[in-house]
Amino acid sequence: MGDTPEGSSRASWDEYFMNIARVIATRATCARKHVGAVIVRDRTILSTGYNGSIRGTPHCDDAGHMMEDGHCVRTIHAEINAVIQAAKNGTSIDGGAIYVTASPCWNCFKAIANAGIRRVVFGEFYRDDRIFQVAETLGIELVDLSGRG
């Protein structure tokens, strides 16, 4: 899915959708980490999300962070917001792929897996190695675009 001809200046599909996820991340409302996500199937965008507060409540950037165990818990993560947006709009994401600027935390990964996402493409590794073993067990493809290894 992510390949382009050698020497081409045209973005691969993976680069294209990750670039969109990066733009989506600019809407995030928690300055501790801006994350964006886009859910795709058949090269068509189904849903997007960014990390932000519960709809109708103050944003971290305005009201301050709600810290618990070193993490801000005021926000809903980008991946969950993308899954919620799809559900709210009646869009099936089963069999799709999610592009996210940072690898999913454990809770987001569990939701992604149960939503039927078959491919997770991330721009940087963020915090939770458990996703690798479980993804392999479930047959979920993980793609690291960070170039870290």
Catalytic residue, chosen from 68, 79, 124, 136, is: 79
Pairing mode of beta strands 119-122, 97-100: parallel
Residue 136 annotated among the catalytic residues of the structure: no
Distance CA 104, CA 124 (A): 10
Q: What is the 3-state secondary structure (H, E, C) of 56-119?
A: CCCCHHHHCCCEECCEECCEECHHHHHHHHHHHCCCCCCCCEEEECCCCCHHHHHHHHHCCCCE
Distance CA 83, CA 98 (A): 10
Question: Which whole-number Å values give the CA distances from 102 to 2, 64, 71, in the listed order?
Answer: 18, 22, 15
Residues known to be catalytic: 79
